[in-house]
Chain A
Amino acid sequence: MPQQQTSSPGQGQRFDWWAAPAAATPSDAVPSDPPVPGAALSGVPSPGAPSGTPSEPPAPHRRPAVPAQPAPARTAPVRAERSPAPATAEPVAGSAPAGRSAGPADRRDTPVPAAVPAAEAAPAATTDSTEVYRAVQASAAFQDIRHSYRSFVFPVSGVFLGWYLMYVAAQAAAPGLMRIQVAGPFNVAWLLGLLQFASTFLLTWLYARNARTKRDRAALGLRWDTQDQLR
């Protein structure tokens, strides 16, 4: 991984939040762009990456650049998704949009701009989108994403909704219990209320972690693949 070549760890992180402003200096932004994905990647275990690529089966007409694809697909989603923003900020204002609209594909995989436009020219609008979507939906990669999403979100939603409704119902059903003093004026009702706050923050964090580690990368890879097939 080439992550060492530019030192922009701070930039790599700030980026997502402050997008363009952080990209600041033109001279610096261009070279730093490719490495940062790598840098971000190093933090994330790469094994997940291949799972994004296997989604290929439904794509008979894959462009020759397939081997090159994993690289951008594997880039930590943070970077790849935001890449357009820094890109706009970097080169001379006029040339950036021009280059982008010319090669539609370059926006997403900044690291391999050359390979993509070439591939893009060939399959031009020959595929039926319905088949593509059906094929992608049936692919193992997509089923993985779907499973990791639903298997987290459904049970957790059930739990927090149940916990909240129980909390609300308990106020009416068990006022005696709610009145029990815990410390000073602080009673069980207040304790449960504050626990609702705590559980909300906790679940938010857990969900974000789950999404980040289990499905973001694969989903992003699949997104580009799907769009390539649709083109």
Chain B
Amino acid sequence: MTSVMTTLMTGAVKNTVTTVLTTATPPPVAPTGDHHSLAIALFAVVVLVTLGITLWVGRRGNAAEDFYAGGRDFTPLQNGFALSGDYLSAASFLGVAGLIALYGYDGVLYSIGFLVAWLVVLMLVAELVRNAGRYTLADVLALRLRRRKVRAAAGGASVVVTLLYLVAQMVGAGSLVALLLGTDSPAARTWTIIAVGALMIVYVTIGGMRATTWIQIIKAFLLVTGSVLLTVLLVVRFHGDLGELMRQAAQHSGAGRRYLEPGLKYGKTFTSRLDFFSLGLALVLGTAGLPHILSRFYTVPTARAARRSTMWAIGLVGGFYLMAIALGLGATALVGSAEVRHANSAGNTAVPLLALVLGGGNGSTGGVVLFALISAIAFATILAVVAGLTLASSAAFAHDIWAGAWRNRPRRERTGRQRAGLRGRVSRPAAEGVPASRSGEDPGPAAGEQQEVVVARFAAGGIGAAAIVISLYAQQLNVAFLVGLAFAVAASANLPVLLYSLFWSRFTARGAVWSVYGGLVPAIVLVFFSPVVSGTKVALFPGVDFHWFPLENPGIVSIPLGFLAGWIGTITSPEPADPDRFAELEVRALTGAGAA
């Protein structure tokens, strides 16, 4: 083993000589003084461009179809970019690369779950959901389990998941902008969070899904471009020798070879290993239950287009994570773990710091430009993702909780529904004229859906405000942790009920309700009694200690509980499942008959 090492080392001696020189740049610090002005200008450009898109695109239609599903006329390529835009959050761009910069291989381990999860989406969810639903995840359940309770449960779980994810994004925003302004003042973070929240409310209430999707597309394009640019610069810097990159990273990590081995972050104790397993489970199963991802599939016309957009998304997400790994290693090799940790204890600023070095170091024009550019991309990422989340959340509230459950609508008859579905298919290309007639759930469909959209717009404002307030209190939490938590809740509350509904003929309404709450409640309760909330120095309430659940991520317990509860609820159901409804769901999901 060591002989291999030494031969390779001697082989690389020539390279080392040169790279040692190049990597000997003094450890950078956040850019100082007037250099911030460029970053701030670019931020302003991002804000103006996105607002322009919102205003321009938002006028194109006001129907429910436009607000929730962007008119359903995006192409697979566009939607693939939008999907990856929704998915590659600040937590990925900043969080994953930061984790790799700090903990090496364990960060890689973390990123892989995000990618593999897409196979679940692709194979089990995307096409069927596209065919069987209209705007939200709960639509799919409601197709076969026509119960207000089911809708309310699924809608509620969706709101919780998106809210958690929102908080993660906004905390990331605060941390990023604080670094950019070279200040760690709480006031800067607070105002950033408030500003981001206000912007996302504007995007969603004015632009709806159409504007949100375009913002996602542009953002995903920028993100991929920025990552490619940095990766190319990095690889050039190391003369294409990735082994040397890894070696340098290990050398500057302060952990030596252990940096390239598992265990630096997740392997210290049995508990932390178990915690990571729990996180991995949540990541791989959670994606398919994320409301803002699922609602993306409704923006394309067919299930086949949904599949293709997922394939694009897998390509983009996979490529992005491969680059994120390189960038994380690069940040360690060129900036150093200590410096990254010094700038932000969670490592969230590793990539901007790397950009600074790659551009020529602190003080050089190139470095500042690149730093500002990457920061602006990260900022665009945050804005886009929070907009997508707010939209999904408001849709879940207005369409599922308010219209589907709270405003009691007995008129969910099958005939009306499927006839409406049919008419929807047929008249879709004619677009704006008759979109509301598709609802089929309401006596005065146009009026009902119009009202629903108004509620959704208000809900976006309310949810945005709630997210702002929560984010202000959660600022010291690691972005990656918060995202892991959102995934765990999605995997526990949303995925079991979705899979059962799609594939299990005997699944009943009680099973659905139990499944949602059986996953949601344990997940929330376990986190509340976890070391994240109390009992440690970095906890939400550092002063007190009421934790008894040892893990940070509840997935390993709550996901099986969600599945178990659904199963128990079904077998103890007093009334059996309705085979007619399952037949309808199955036929529609697999063939696309009557799809909206």
Seen from chain A, the residues whose Cβ lies within 8 Å of a Cβ on chain B are 16-19, 77-78, 81-82, 84-85, 87-88, 96-98, 100-101, 104-105, 107, 125, 129-130, 133-134, 136-137, 142, 145-146, 149-150, 153, 156-157, 160-161, 164-165, 167-169, 171-172, 175, 178-181, 183-187, 189-190, 193, 196-197, 200-201, 203-204, 207-208, 211, 215-216, 219-220, 222-223, 226-227, 230-231
Distance (whole angstroms) from the CB of B527 to the closest CB of chain A? 20
Q: Is the beta-carbon distance between B587 and A136 smaller than 8 angstroms? A: yes
Q: Say whether, besides A186-B246, A200-B119, A101 and B260 are in contact (CB < 8 Å).
A: no
Which residues on A sit within 8 Å (CB–CB) of B122? 204, 207
Q: Is the beta-carbon distance between A157 and B119 smaller than 8 angstroms? A: yes
Interface residues of B in 104-163 (CB under 8 A from A): 105, 108-109, 112-113, 115-116, 118-120, 122-124, 127
Distance (whole angstroms) from the CB of B31 to the closest CB of chain A? 31
- Verify if B523 is at the interface (C-beta below 8 Å from A): no
Q: How far is the CA of A123 from the CA of B425 in the complex (A)?
A: 18
Which residues on B sit within 8 Å (CB–CB) of A178? 261-262
Q: Say whether, besides A171-B267, A226-B591, A153 and B123 are in contact (CB < 8 Å).
A: yes
Q: Is the beta-carbon distance between A84 and B301 smaller than 8 angstroms? A: yes
Which residues on A sit within 8 Å (CB–CB) of B206? none
Most A C-beta atoms less than 10 A away, residue of B12, B503, B591: B591
Q: Is the beta-carbon distance between B118 and A200 smaller than 8 angstroms? A: yes
Map CB proximity to A onto B269-286 as digits: 1 under 8 Å, 0 otherwise: 000011011001100100
Which residues on B sit within 8 Å (CB–CB) of A157? 119-120, 123-124
Q: Is the beta-carbon distance between B4 and A17 smaller than 8 angstroms? A: no
B83-91, B402-410, B430-438 - the one binding chain A: B430-438
Q: Is the beta-carbon distance between A190 and B260 smaller than 8 angstroms? A: yes
Chain B interface SS verdict (over half)? helix
Q: Is the beta-carbon distance between A208 and B311 smaller than 8 angstroms? A: yes
Q: Say whether, besides A133-B584, A231-B422, A197 and B112 are in contact (CB < 8 Å).
A: yes
Q: Is the beta-carbon distance between A133 and B123 smaller than 8 angstroms? A: no
Q: Is the beta-carbon distance between A223 and B422 smaller than 8 angstroms? A: no
Which residues on B sit within 8 Å (CB–CB) of A137? 583, 586-587
- Verify if B429 is at the interface (C-beta below 8 Å from A): yes
Distance (whole angstroms) from the CB of B481 to the closest CB of chain A? 17
Distance (whole angstroms) from the CB of A36 to the closest CB of chain B? 16
Q: Is the beta-carbon distance between A190 and B108 smaller than 8 angstroms? A: yes
**Pairs A–B under 8 Å by Cβ, sample size 18:** A84-B429, A88-B429, A101-B433, A104-B422, A133-B587, A134-B580, A153-B123, A172-B276, A175-B262, A184-B4, A185-B247, A185-B257, A193-B108, A197-B115, A200-B115, A226-B587, A226-B591, A226-B594
Distance (whole angstroms) from the CB of B432 to the closest CB of chain A? 9
Which residues on B sit within 8 Å (CB–CB) of A227? 422, 425, 593-594
Closest A residue by C-beta to B8: A184
Q: Is the beta-carbon distance between A130 and B580 smaller than 8 angstroms? A: yes
Chain A interface SS verdict (over half)? helix
Most B C-beta atoms less than 10 A away, residue of A87, A156, A168, A200: A168
Please pick, from A98, A150, A153, A161, the residue contacting B284 in the complex, using a CB distance under 8 A.
A161
Q: How far is the CA of A193 from the CA of B250 in the complex (A)?
A: 18
Please pick, from A100, A136, A189, the residue contacting B261 in the complex, using a CB distance under 8 A.
A189
Q: How far is the CA of A216 from the CA of B592 in the complex (A)?
A: 10
Which residues on B sit within 8 Å (CB–CB) of A164? 112-113, 116, 280, 284
Q: How far is the CA of A164 from the CA of B277 in the complex (A)?
A: 10
Which residues on A sit within 8 Å (CB–CB) of B120? 157, 161
Distance (whole angstroms) from the CB of B9 to the closest CB of chain A? 8
- Verify if B308 is at the interface (C-beta below 8 Å from A): yes
Closest B residue by C-beta to A139: B587
Q: How far is the CA of A146 from the CA of B503 in the complex (A)?
A: 11
B355-363, B382-390, B412-420, B536-544 - the one binding chain A: B412-420
Q: Is the beta-carbon distance between A220 and B246 smaller than 8 angstroms? A: no
Q: How far is the CA of A18 from the CA of B591 in the complex (A)?
A: 23
Closest B residue by C-beta to A226: B593
Q: Is the beta-carbon distance between B428 and A175 smaller than 8 angstroms? A: no
Distance (whole angstroms) from the CB of A106 to the closest CB of chain B? 9
Distance (whole angstroms) from the CB of B71 to the closest CB of chain A? 12
Q: Is the beta-carbon distance between B8 and A183 smaller than 8 angstroms? A: yes
Distance (whole angstroms) from the CB of B338 to the closest CB of chain A? 20
Q: How far is the CA of A37 from the CA of B294 in the complex (A)?
A: 30
Q: Is the beta-carbon distance between B115 and A97 smaller than 8 angstroms? A: no
Q: Is the beta-carbon distance between A145 and B591 smaller than 8 angstroms? A: yes
Map CB proximity to A onto B283-303 as digits: 1 under 8 Å, 0 otherwise: 010000000000000000110
Q: Say whether, besides A129-B415, A197-B322, A211-B307, A184 and B243 are in contact (CB < 8 Å).
A: yes
Q: How far is the CA of A203 from the CA of B115 in the complex (A)?
A: 12
Map CB proximity to A onto B208-240 as digits: 1 under 8 Å, 0 otherwise: 000000000000000000000000000000000
B73-81, B174-182, B465-473, B514-522 - the one binding chain A: B73-81
Q: Is the beta-carbon distance between B267 and A101 smaller than 8 angstroms? A: no
Q: How far is the CA of A77 from the CA of B580 in the complex (A)?
A: 28
- Verify if B266 is at the interface (C-beta below 8 Å from A): yes
Q: Which 5 A-B pairs have the closest CB atoms?
A: A104-B426, A172-B273, A226-B593, A171-B262, A168-B280
Q: Is the beta-carbon distance between B243 and A185 smaller than 8 angstroms? A: yes
Distance (whole angstroms) from the CB of B552 to the closest CB of chain A? 15
Closest A residue by C-beta to B9: A184
